[in-house]
Amino acid sequence: MLKADMSTADWRALDQAHHVHSFTDPRAMNVKGTRVITRADGVYVWDSDGAKLLDAMAGLWCVNVGYGRKELVEAGRAQMEVLPYYNNHFQSATPQMIELASLIAEVTPPGLDQIVFANSGSEAIDTVLRMVRHFWRLQGRPSKQIFIGRSLGYHGSTLAATSLGGMAHMHGMDNALLPGFEHIGHPHWYTQGGDLTPEAFGLEAARELEAKILELGPENVAAFIGEPVQGAGGVIVPPSTYWPEIQRICRLYDVLLVADEVICGFGRTGSWFGSQTFGIEPDLMTMAKGLSSGYVPISAVAMNARVADTINQGGLIAHGYTYSGHPVACAVAIENIGIIRREGLVERVREDVGPYLQSRLQQLAEESPIVGEVRGVGLMAALQLVRDKATREVCTAEDNAAILCRDYAADNGLIARALGQAMALSPPLTITRGEIDELISKLGSALDHTARALGRL
């Protein structure tokens, strides 16, 4: 039996003995020891030593309404009391899944009105893959099977989501990419754009899609899938020309366009969905994280009428999970959407704290010798660590700059994430200007420490 007075050393020993972590090198972790997080409130978390950390990643880009929201606790508790579980298989439903589906249809862009539930971003992606192939088969075009994703795209870590994503280290782990997945490059002007203007580069990057479709044959391509802003790939904000061109190409060749909104959804970019920020009109959209602010696992896929009507007329939908539309998760998500609406969090990100964070980061970048680029929109951002600002030469894995900076930040009470050689931020949407000032001051001092360690200050 675990005791409430377990010490950090006790937790670490037990953790090492029995628990395999996600996206972690156990050898490195066990030198340092696991960080055990025990409680949270607002934008802060506390570890088992009592240290207070400003969580500038909102967990894994997900705690949009902040920690410690009593309304969400109560919504989950009350639902468990009345009906802790029922499912949507075999013509059943619960009021919560019906209400949540209609609420999601309200907040998604017009036309995305039919909702499929799942439990994680990865499962939402797998759902898209199955629904899209089903759609094309029902349309009498069964050869349209191939999905096109992007390098540094992240869509989850099931076998199918890994195959769709463009993370080389994930592909390398089990050497088991499924057939039917192809990739084009990612639209990061700073590292890929060379002498082109960002706008010209955006068009060039989008036209890789056209070349790939023509190479594969449009009759074989089912869909293109992209995150409006690539999150785990490094907060890659594409040039303004990129998404309109991607959309034009998808329409021209009748390739479905899927927006993976798992990070961008629910206010992160200053609109309800990243698609709205970038003027994308997707045929399907995935969402997870911010749907429940991470309080309980739940995800969803929204489909437009063309896709949904075909599927709804196509006979048995042989897909679904035990917990699709779980009533407790739905009850929490309904309340979570209520909070986002009542507190005007989307507008707050767009008009107030989003621009404030971005402008404070620009100042930091100007002052720091090792930050070459600030990229971001709303409350997601990354600082690119560079060897040379003038030539845009970025730091390499050998410099180890981002890991150093992340560790300095943590020692100083700030959780930021190292993505490649960039520092990523994605705080709760409830963060105040005062808390942003604290974030900036802590990050600034971590950057100074890093610059000193690299001999650049």
DSSP secondary structure letter of residue 236: B
- Tell me the C-alpha distance between 416 and 61, whole Å: 11
Residue 172: count of CB within 10 angstroms of its CB: 8
In the complex with ligand PMP, the residue whose CB is nearer, 313 or 322, is: 322
Instruction: Give the tokens for residue 60.
Output: 């894994």
- Tell me the C-alpha distance between 265 and 271, whole Å: 8
- Tell me the C-alpha distance between 405 and 119, whole Å: 33
- Tell me the C-alpha distance between 373 and 312, whole Å: 47
Instruction: Give the tokens for residue 90.
Output: 């075999």
In the complex with ligand PMP, the residue whose CB is nearer, 94 or 162, is: 162
In the complex with ligand PMP, the residue whose CB is nearer, 263 or 382, is: 263
Using CB atoms, what's the residue nearest to ligand PMP?
121
β-strand 284-287 against 256-260: which pairing, if any? parallel
In the complex, the smallest distance separating the C-beta of residue 122 from ligand PMP, rounded to whole angstroms, is 3
H helices within 108-197, ranges in order? Answer: 121-138, 159-164, 168-174, 189-192
Greatest Cα-to-Cα distance within the chain, rounded to the nearest angstrom:
66
In the complex, the smallest distance separating the C-beta of residue 91 from ligand PMP, rounded to whole angstroms, is 28
In the complex with ligand PMP, the residue whose CB is nearer, 210 or 227, is: 227
In the complex, the smallest distance separating the C-beta of residue 183 from ligand PMP, rounded to whole angstroms, is 15
Q: What are phi and psi of 385, to 5 degrees?
A: -85, 130
In the complex, the smallest distance separating the C-beta of residue 40 from ligand PMP, rounded to whole angstroms, is 19
H-helix or E-strand containing 204? helix 198-216
In the complex with ligand PMP, the residue whose CB is nearer, 223 or 447, is: 223
The beta strands (E) that lie in 87-160 are given as 114-118, 146-150
Task: Name residue 114's beta-bridge partners.
Answer: 303
In the complex with ligand PMP, the residue whose CB is nearer, 265 or 372, is: 265
Question: In Å, what is the CA distance from 232 to each residue of 83, 90, 375?
Answer: 36, 37, 14
Half-sphere exposure of 270 (CA within 13 A, CB side): 20
In the complex, the smallest distance separating the C-beta of residue 424 from ligand PMP, rounded to whole angstroms, is 11
Locate tokens 């009470």: which residue? Answer: 413
In the complex with ligand PMP, the residue whose CB is nearer, 263 or 443, is: 263
Tell whether the torsion through CA atoms of 92, 97, 103 and 105 is positive or negative: negative
- Tell me the C-alpha distance between 343 and 315, whole Å: 42
In the complex, the smallest distance separating the C-beta of residue 261 from ligand PMP, rounded to whole angstroms, is 8
Per-residue b or e along 333-344, where b marks 16 or more CB atoms closer than 10 Å to that residue's CB: bbbbbebbeeee
In the complex, the smallest distance separating the C-beta of residue 194 from ligand PMP, rounded to whole angstroms, is 27
In the complex, the smallest distance separating the C-beta of residue 262 from ligand PMP, rounded to whole angstroms, is 3
Q: At how many degrees (to 10) do helices 354-367 and 433-453 cross?
A: 20
In the complex with ligand PMP, the residue whose CB is nearer, 288 or 340, is: 288
Q: At how many degrees (to 10) do helices 198-216 and 242-252 cross?
A: 20
Q: What are phi and psi of 302, to 5 degrees?
A: -105, 135
In the complex with ligand PMP, the residue whose CB is nearer, 43 or 300, is: 300
In the complex, the smallest distance separating the C-beta of residue 418 from ligand PMP, rounded to whole angstroms, is 15
In the complex with ligand PMP, the residue whose CB is nearer, 125 or 311, is: 125
In the complex, the smallest distance separating the C-beta of residue 113 from ligand PMP, rounded to whole angstroms, is 22
In the complex with ligand PMP, the residue whose CB is nearer, 120 or 450, is: 120
- Residues in contact with ligand PMP by CB under 6 A are 60, 120-122, 125, 154-156, 227, 231-232, 260, 262-263, 288
In the complex, the smallest distance separating the C-beta of residue 38 from ligand PMP, rounded to whole angstroms, is 22
